[in-house]
Amino acid sequence: MAIPDPARAIAELKFRDPIRGRGLLDALARRTAEIDHSPVSVMHVCGSHEQAIAKFGLRSAFPRGLNVIMGPGCPVCITDTPEVDEGVVLARQGVHIATYGDMVRVPGTVLSLADAQAEGAHIHVIYSATQAVELARSMTEEVVFFATGFETTAVATAAVVLGGLPPNLSILSAHKYIPPVMEIVAEMPHTRVEGFLAAGHAATITGAAVFEPFVSRHKLPVVIAGFEPLDILAGLVKLLELIRDGTPAVANMFPRCVSHEGNLRAQEQLWKVFKPTGGRWRGIAHVPNGNLRLRDEFAAIDARRRFPIDLTTLWDYAPPALAQSCICGDIMAGLKAPSDCKLFGQECTPEAPVGACMVSTEGACRIWHQYGGHPNLGGDA
Amino acid sequence: MCLGVPGKVIEVSGNVATVDFWGVRRQVQLDVIDEPVAPGDYILNHVGFAIRRIPESEIGETLALYEQLIKQAEEDDLMTQDVRGEIAASSEPNRGHS
Amino acid sequence: MIRRGLVDDKLGIKYGAGGRAMRALIERVCLAGLGPAPVDGIGLSAMDDGAAIRVGNQWLVITTDSHVVHPRVFPGGDIGRLAVSGTVNDLAMMGATRPLALTCAIILEEGFAREDLAQVYASIRTACDEAGTTVVTGDTKVMGRGELDGLVINTAGVAFCDRVVPDCGLAPGDVLILTGTVGDHGMAIMAARHNLALEGDLRSDVAPINTLIRAALDAGGADVVAMKDPTRGGVASALHEMAEKSRVGILVDEPSVRVRAEVRAACDLLGIDPLAVANEGKAVIGVRAAAADRVLDALRGHALGREAAVVGRCIADHAGAVILDTGLGRRMLAEPEGELLPRIC
């Protein structure tokens, strides 16, 4: 097996060498065994954590007694159908939509942005919010930046807004804020989650301190972890230690990026532009303060106020009854597994997704479908 | 949830840094970073914005963090094995005193 | 809304993307409307890179492709080079490495610049010379402005060969060789197409590789049991097809897959798996284990195969699936679906 040059990897901040990986996996196995019950259930609330876990095949290497649940941390998954519908309706009105690639295939009530594009709508995939500005400057037609993602991504939108937008550009904000949903999960009566792995990049912005009230309220440990495979393993080891010791605390295992108070300059811009409001997350009904909407001062560049958005125009199509049977919410909350869903693999597949959990590459159902459930791939085949 | 990729600053021009990602380079906005950056610094890039400066010293710290967890688990395990060994030895039949 | 197994009423972009949707379309609409293939041969239902028809004691291999790539000119090549390489390589993947001739039909949009067309034909000429063949016939049409986006090229190629190498001949124990680095073409195109503002040497690997494949076949003979070029859908798609058709499992050693630093960095930034990205100058070659070394030597001795490497092997378990060993753990490699899009989350 070819091993990449380890020194160079470290210099590129790629922490993924197999030797340390083995060491941390062994530590994880030991710590898991030290806990007096099995399985131990922990939850991460970040789609990128699940993506990294999946990409590096970590699930196949986790100890058997450890259950790492994917919580509602995939912003694509939890973008509610009406929000996608808003984008679709605008697209069908002839407005140019700039959006991140992640959202293009997420199903709305009936159509996704990709479907709208197939019908002739103008959908532009961008990598950075600044490109929405460049796009608007290159034309006279109206452009809407369909802005999705969690607070980390909302910071970029805020910066662009504060820089001043061209007159033909407005923002449709579907941004979300993660800490409130951790509360909801912690408060769910049947939850078995004993600790949380928190998203390192969001914490880079908000700081480790933001989790302290949560920890003292719910007496559950929170470990902030980065996204390199060694970061994730180290985070899990620490989390298991805290669970073993019964220590509800916030532990920062991503100190190279996360400080106690976070990035204050980014926070300032974020809250200058956005306010947290209650809203629906796909499958999780109401999340107080879970949505980030533009403040009233920015009404002029708020797409929801610039355009009439009539979602009933989509109701020419009968909404599929399948949506009623979708249990994405329970899956995202870690209460059910994809295999518990009667649509899974039948009416709901990656090519024909019903819920967003199957659309998003980070969605629990999609990953489960790809990897055949919990992959049993170990050993030398 | 957030694809954050580290890179190394090559050049800074006002609000924009040219960042090397060890194979490709890209301009990265500095609007939201909370400290000044200079060529040679590492930054964490998310959607074309630098959201954090990563001091080089943190590399060693990170490796030390991993080592500490690994070592501690090994030591605890050895201790556990020792204890288990003692218990086993003292509870074996025909072995005399407790 | 689509339901599993059926095809939409309106055919979206994904039906041309080379994945499951496209195969479903071919099975349900195209094949259903066509008569059976000639008695002695490999026809459309095999969905191989080309068709093969018995003529005397040889096989006549035929293939056709249409090309609509955007942008038409990209780092490393253009639509002309892509057209020739695609067809020559499809023939080569069947084992036919000496094309007899190519056809080239073009449809232009009214107003297309003569200079641009001359450049396309210059690229066609260069690629033909590299492959040792030429274009012998074609067709030219012009459609009204706006009725077509610039230029569509269709190429077909014919060749004789003694032995057709299918993409379904793998057995447990066989070894998989990749002839070079992966992800070069698709990332060059994506960077150019989505205005991602990445600076770096992202260039397509587009090239006719028939002479490279000839070297492998000369060295390996009948021990070369399967071949596929990892175009749309990348190595992941190609391996999936080979695993499914051969009814074997494939275990890939991810650290052995060679990726240029530029491609790796671009993939990391955009959240894309290099194994899912298209290649236009590479092949996946399935070889009996005993022949692996000599095939590898033959490949590495050729200018286009210097980075050839063994990347995996076939196993009896998990038939039809592709498993990736990452060095830290294992996972099932997904079959890419639809156009690759950059992601931020």
CB pairs under 8 A between A and C: 136
DSSP 8-state secondary structure symbol assigned to residue A355: S
Indicate yes or no: CB of B52 within 8 angstroms of CB of A73: no
Residues facing A99 on adjacent strands:
A125, A146
Confidence of residue C2 (pLDDT cuts 50, 70, 90): very low
Letter for the amino acid at C333?
Answer: L
Q: How far apart are CA B67 and CA A328, in angstroms?
A: 39
Q: What token pair was written down for C102?
A: 């190519």
Kindly report, residue by residue over C293-329, the tens digit of the pLDDT.
Answer: 999 999 999 999 999 999 999 999 999 999 999 999 9
DSSP 8-state secondary structure symbol assigned to residue C28: I
Q: Spell out which residues of chain C touch residue B26, defining contact as CB-CB under 8 Å.
A: 196-199, 269
Q: How far apart are CA A180 and CA A184, in angstroms?
A: 7
Q: What is the DSSP string of C116-128?
A: HHHHHHHHHHHHH
Average pLDDT for residues A366-371, to the nearest whole number?
75
Confidence of residue B83 (pLDDT cuts 50, 70, 90): confident
Mutate: best of B2, B8, B26, B83, partner A, most A CBs <10 A: B2
Kindly report, residue by residue over C324-339, the tens digit of the pLDDT.
Answer: 999 999 988 888 877 7
Confidence of residue A323 (pLDDT cuts 50, 70, 90): low
DSSP 8-state secondary structure symbol assigned to residue C37: P
Domain B4-55, CATH? 2.30.30.140
Residues in B lying within 8 Å of A, measured between beta carbons: 1-4, 6, 22, 29, 31-34, 42, 44, 46-49, 51-52, 54-55, 58-59, 61-63, 65-67, 69-70, 72-74, 76-77
Confidence of residue A11 (pLDDT cuts 50, 70, 90): very high
Nearest to B23 among C261, C343, C345 (CB): C261
Mean of per-residue pLDDT scores for chain C = 91
Q: Spell out which residues of chain B touch residue C258, defining contact as CB-CB under 8 Å.
A: none
Q: How far is C263 from chain B (nearest CA, A)?
A: 7
Average pLDDT for residues B83-88, to the nearest whole number?
78
Average pLDDT for residues C56-81, to the nearest whole number?
93
Q: What token pair was written down for C317?
A: 């378990």
CB atoms < 10 A from the CB of C210, how many? Answer: 24
Average pLDDT for residues A184-205, to the nearest whole number?
88
By C-alpha distance, the chain C residue nearest B25 is C199
pLDDT at A293 over 70: yes
- Put simply, the chain A residues between 315 and 354 with a CB less than 8 A from any chain C CB are 320, 346-347, 349-352
Q: CB-based contacts of A134: which residues, under 8 Å, 6+ apart?
A: none
Task: Tell me the torsion sign for CA atoms C202, C86, C178, C18.
Answer: positive
B47 in reach of chain C (CB within 8 A): yes
Give the pLDDT score at A188: 77
Average pLDDT for residues B20-25, to the nearest whole number?
96
Give the pLDDT score at C187: 96
Q: Residue A178 in contact with residue A289, Cβ under 8 Å?
A: no
Q: How far apart are CA C298 and CA C215, in angstroms?
A: 6
Helices (H), chain B: 57-91
Kindly report, residue by residue over C181-229, the tens digit of the pLDDT.
Answer: 999 999 999 988 877 889 999 999 999 999 999 999 999 999 999 999 9
Average pLDDT for residues A83-98, to the nearest whole number?
94
Give the pLDDT score at C119: 97
Confidence of residue A331 (pLDDT cuts 50, 70, 90): confident
Q: CB-based contacts of A314: which residues, under 8 Å, 6+ apart?
A: A85, A88, A89, A108, A109, A110, A111
- Put simply, the chain A residues between 93 and 132 with a CB less than 8 A from any chain B CB are 100, 127-131
- Give the rounded percent of residues in chain C with a pLDDT score beyond 90: 74
Better pLDDT: A4 or A100: A100
- Give the rounded percent of residues in chain B with a pLDDT score beyond 70: 91
Q: Match 């040059």 to its residue by tokens.
A: A5
Indicate yes or no: CB of B23 within 8 angstroms of CB of C343: no
DSSP 8-state secondary structure symbol assigned to residue C223: G
A373 in reach of chain C (CB within 8 A): no
Closest CA to C305 of C236, C220, C225: C220
Mean of per-residue pLDDT scores for chain A = 88
B66 in reach of chain C (CB within 8 A): no
Polymer length in residues for chain B: 98
Q: How far is A27 from chain B (nearest CA, A)?
A: 5
Mean of per-residue pLDDT scores for chain B = 88
Q: How far apart are CA B62 and CA A256, in angstroms?
A: 7
Q: Which CATH number fits domain A45-321: 3.30.1490.390, 3.40.50.11740, 2.90.10.10, 3.40.50.880?
A: 3.40.50.11740
- Domains of chain C, each with CATH number or no CATH: 1-35 (no CATH), 49-161 (3.30.1330.10), 175-332 (3.90.650.10)
Q: How far apart are CA A353 and CA A105, in angstroms?
A: 9
Domain ranges of chain A: 45-321, 322-369
- Give the rounded percent of residues in chain C with a pLDDT score beyond 70: 94
Average pLDDT for residues C23-49, to the nearest whole number?
75
Kindly report, residue by residue over C92-102, the tens digit of the pLDDT.
Answer: 999 999 999 99
Q: Residue A156 in contact with residue A128, Cβ under 8 Å?
A: yes
Indicate yes or no: CB of B21 within 8 angstroms of CB of C268: yes
